[in-house]
């Protein structure tokens, strides 16, 4: 059976983005995220984080700092009954010309090695249009979490509204 997946951007979508997020003491989940993730998980979706982390390439923090932060984030979510099924990240900046930094889709290709994605019954949620780039290659629905709506995609001003939409429109 194929996996229904919700691909999630991290900074600005799951947690508050204060710029180059890596300090555990500054980890703050955005409003509605925990309940929204619980709802999506209860609906049978795998939860997979796809995130750009150029702070590593810029020397602001290390891969170890990122891993420590993610371990803490996943533990806090697990304390609320939410399991993150996968985390894929790009440690590069734009100048590196890699194929994994969104809007390129290399991180999604990595995830496809671990999940048998049912693209037409999956979703991608982000706070920036580049987070939804996979929508141009695969039949997946993109949702932007932003107070500045774009006409090119679905828009909600908070995560829970996106989860409710998926509940009403998913399979």
Identified catalytic residue from 11, 35, 65, 99? 11
Q: Is residue 11 annotated as part of the catalytic site, yes or no? A: yes
Token reading at 149: 């709506």
52: burial class by Cβ within 10 Å (0-12, 13-18, 19+)?
A: buried
Please name the residue ranges forming H helices in the chain.
33-42, 54-57, 63-79, 106-114, 159-169
User: Which residues, in sequence order, are CB contacts of 65 under 8 Å at separation 6+?
Assistant: 22
Identified catalytic residue from 3, 9, 31, 99? 9
Could you give the 3-state DSSP secondary structure of residue 137? coil
Question: Catalytic amino acids?
Answer: 9, 11
């Amino acid at each position: 059976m194929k996996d229904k997946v919700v691909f999630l951007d991290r900074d600005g979508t799951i947690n508050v983005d204060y710029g180059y997020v890596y300090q555990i003491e500054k980890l703050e989940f955005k409003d509605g995220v925990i309940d929204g993730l619980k709802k999506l998980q209860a609906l049978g979706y795998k939860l997979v984080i796809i995130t750009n982390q150029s702070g590593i390439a810029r020397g602001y923090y290390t891969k170890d700092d990122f891993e420590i932060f993610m371990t803490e984030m996943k533990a806090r979510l697990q304390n609320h009954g939410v399991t993150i099924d996968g985390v894929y990240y790009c440690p590069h900046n734009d100048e590196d010309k890699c194929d994994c930094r969104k809007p390129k889709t290399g991180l999604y290709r990595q995830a496809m090695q671990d999940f048998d994605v049912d693209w037409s019954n999956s979703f991608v949620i982000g706070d920036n249009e580049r987070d939804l780039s996979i929508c141009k290659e695969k039949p997946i629905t993109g949702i932007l979490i932003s107070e500045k709506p774009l006409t090119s995609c679905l828009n909600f001003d908070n995560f829970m509204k996106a989860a409710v939409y998926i509940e009403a429109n998913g399979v």
